[in-house]
Chain A
Amino acid sequence: MGQQIKSALLQSTHRVLEVLVNFLPGVLALLLAMILFTLIGWGLSALAYRILIAMRFDDRLAERATSDAPAGIADWSPARSPALLVSRAILWLCILIGLALGVSAFDASYSAQSQMSSFLLPYLTHIAGAVLLFIGGTLLARFLARSVLIGAVNAQLHYARFLSLGVKWLVLVLTAAMVLEHLHVGGTVVGVAFGILFGGIVLTLSLAIGLGSRDLVTRSIEKTMERPNAANATQVVPPSTADDTGQSRLRHF
């Protein structure tokens, strides 16, 4: 009995060690490729940056931007330097090449041994996609939340922050559901939970806006009933306040 247990333990330890021995070279190859190409990228980007600065690349582009287009590439560059943008693009390109090579080496060292490669590599791409989705969703949530907040404040809505938070969480919940779906985590539970959460937030927002803006909506409907051609009027009314006699009191422009 003892011998059998000992033998089983030894065999399993041997198998795990064998897996590790097969696994480690692949990981090392991945890391080595990444480090090597990052270093190459650094070198190339620094070289490219120096060459572009020597060529007065930023100044030349700025001159072209003033004569050809109102907003040039400088507007989208870090520190408004297209040379820096190019050098960073080179760095990240090298890192990506290193990653692709490393994954390929990892795949080559592993493919004959087990099914892990066929499972791990597609999953890695799913993870990359999920990370991109998460980043995009977070940025979109922040952008929309700010847009709604500023718009609501300028419209004098006292629940501006609440509205902005609602929009932000709507987008974040949607993003989270998409990320989990992309990673095949949770199955249908995620979909159902998302539906409940999303519906709940929408219902809450609708109730809040509906109840909070009841007077506003009533006044708006009353105005529309009184003035059938209100749509035309809004197109020509200037952004100033006019009293009942039509005499303008306040003119911003």
Chain B
Amino acid sequence: MSSLPIADATQDASHTPATMLVCLPSLPTESLLANLDKLSKVFGEEDLLIATPDTLPENMQRPGMELIAMSSERIASGWVLAAADYASAAAVAAQRNAQTVLLLGGDLYGLPTNALRSLVDGVRGQQMDLVLPRFALRPGSGLVNSALLYPLTRALFGANIRFPLPADAALSARMIQRLAAQRGARPGQSASLLWPVTEAAIAGYSVREVDAGEAEPPLPQQADFSELFQSITGSLFADLESKATFWQRARTRPPIAAEPALPLSNNAALSAEAMTEVQSMIDTFQLAYANLQEIWSLVLPPQSRLALKKLSLQPAASFHVEPQLWARVVYDFALAYRLRNLNRGHLLGAMMPLYLAWAASHLLTADNDAARAERHIAETAACFELERSYLVSRWRWPDRFNP
């Protein structure tokens, strides 16, 4: 199949100001065409600038769409947007004077059409700077997001955005330029992650989320969970460290009083396979408790270690990580990451069994019920807000709490 060379945005001097730019990742031809059809369906005859690193087959242009080439530097992660994605989109948006940018990280078929429309309307109609999709996940999905990313972002930056590390986003011109400038601060790190919600928070930009229904966010292609967990958590902790002056002073909304704790379920709705997974996670935590005491003692204060000791003795039926304990553990690890109490790779590796303990506890508490899962996540996030002062104190005077 012959290919049609797409106009290069950098060479096009006679363009008219575009209203909206849609940036697609590198996709197979069939997916690319399907995505163009979907965009055409959502936005009708509206003028769209479509930027893609791919070349399009002949006679496949769509009415109202102008296809332009963008930097092949875009990372085809298909999972979450990386620094290079924002930078490439910002370059095209600046050249074509686009005021709204719809940045898509993966294949579009997962996102409902109304969610796509709402993303763009949030920026254009409601003058938002950043609009992100919110997925209604099953109880066993997006656990790292529920355990760490969402509660930390909400507690420290006052942004109640359920998925702060997006795969798709709609951004205003100033937001995309700000993110591109952040990427400029990290030369040679195309694959490094940026945290748009925290950036928007410190810039005072408006952020909102739109309902994306039950669509599943894309899965990472990297198979090694340990490596992925360390890279995401490390990036988040580094971001917290770089924005410490903001969240220590910021007047975020007052902590919401935590709802009454969910009663322990009898786990009747969990399948045998799910219980096997939960038991495996609890076993990993108990094994870690038996072996990683020396490392945890460099990070955690005695009260937390005592609570973990009690937890390690609990049977699976009554295994429950208190949200307050989890919040303090995460804050202690974030502080140790900053202080370099030990090698950062070791630190994040030693945190993984604790995360698995939270995940097991969450699955047991949720009992395969989406409403219970959401309530548990909200309860956890509320505890992160309540314990925020603990982090601020430890961050300012780490020696006073030296374990």
Residues of A that sit less than 8 Å from B by CB = 66-70, 75, 143, 146-147, 149-151, 153-154, 156, 158, 160-161, 164, 234-241, 243, 248-253
Inter-chain contacts of B219 with A (CB < 8 A): 238, 240, 248, 251, 253
Verify A250–B186 contact, CB threshold 8 A: no
Verify A153–B291 contact, CB threshold 8 A: yes
Verify A161–B291 contact, CB threshold 8 A: yes
Verify A251–B141 contact, CB threshold 8 A: yes
Verify A252–B350 contact, CB threshold 8 A: no
> For residue A150, which residue of chain B has the nearest CB?
B349
Inter-chain contacts of B79 with A (CB < 8 A): 253
Contact with A along B274-297 (1 / 0, CB 8 A): 100100100110011011100100
What are 28 pairs between A and B in contact, CB < 8 Å?
A66-B185, A66-B242, A68-B185, A70-B192, A75-B340, A147-B345, A147-B346, A149-B292, A151-B226, A151-B349, A153-B284, A153-B287, A158-B287, A160-B287, A161-B290, A237-B223, A239-B225, A241-B277, A249-B271, A249-B277, A250-B141, A250-B143, A251-B141, A251-B142, A252-B143, A253-B143, A253-B144, A253-B145
Verify A238–B277 contact, CB threshold 8 A: no
- Chain A min CB distance to B247 (Å): 16
Given A66-B242, A240-B219, A249-B274, CB of A146 within 8 Å of CB of B343: yes
Determine which residue in B137, B141, B189 has the highest number of CB atoms from chain A within 10 A of its CB, and name it: B141
Contact with A along B170-207 (1 / 0, CB 8 A): 00000000000000011101001000000000000000
A9 and B137 CA atoms in complex are apart in Å by 95
Contact with A along B118-145 (1 / 0, CB 8 A): 0000000000000000000100111111
- Chain A min CB distance to B209 (Å): 18
A9 and B353 CA atoms in complex are apart in Å by 73
A185 and B222 CA atoms in complex are apart in Å by 51
Partner of B343, one of A143, A149, A251: A143
Verify B287–A249 contact, CB threshold 8 A: no
Verify A156–B352 contact, CB threshold 8 A: no
Inter-chain contacts of A158 with B (CB < 8 A): 287
> For residue B289, which residue of chain A has the nearest CB?
A153
Taking residues whose C-beta sits less than 8 angstroms from the other chain, chain B's interface range is: 35 or more
> For residue B221, which residue of chain A has the nearest CB?
A236
A70 and B259 CA atoms in complex are apart in Å by 39
A75 and B340 CA atoms in complex are apart in Å by 8
The 10 lowest CB-CB distance pairs between A and B, nearest first, are A239-B225, A150-B349, A238-B219, A251-B141, A250-B140, A153-B288, A252-B143, A161-B291, A252-B144, A146-B346
Verify A251–B291 contact, CB threshold 8 A: no
With A239-B228, A250-B277 given, can you name 19 additional A-B contacts, CB distance below 8 Å? Answer: A68-B185, A147-B346, A149-B291, A151-B349, A153-B287, A153-B292, A161-B290, A164-B291, A235-B223, A236-B221, A238-B219, A239-B223, A249-B274, A250-B141, A250-B143, A250-B363, A252-B225, A253-B219, A253-B220
Given A149-B291, A253-B145, CB of A156 within 8 Å of CB of B283: yes
Inter-chain contacts of A239 with B (CB < 8 A): 220, 222-225, 228
Inter-chain contacts of B187 with A (CB < 8 A): 68-69
Partner of A146, one of B220, B242, B295: B295
> For residue A75, which residue of chain B has the nearest CB?
B340
B246 on the A face (CB < 8 A): no
- Chain B min CB distance to A166 (Å): 14
Inter-chain contacts of B34 with A (CB < 8 A): none
A154 and B228 CA atoms in complex are apart in Å by 13
Verify B143–A154 contact, CB threshold 8 A: no
- Chain B min CB distance to A160 (Å): 5
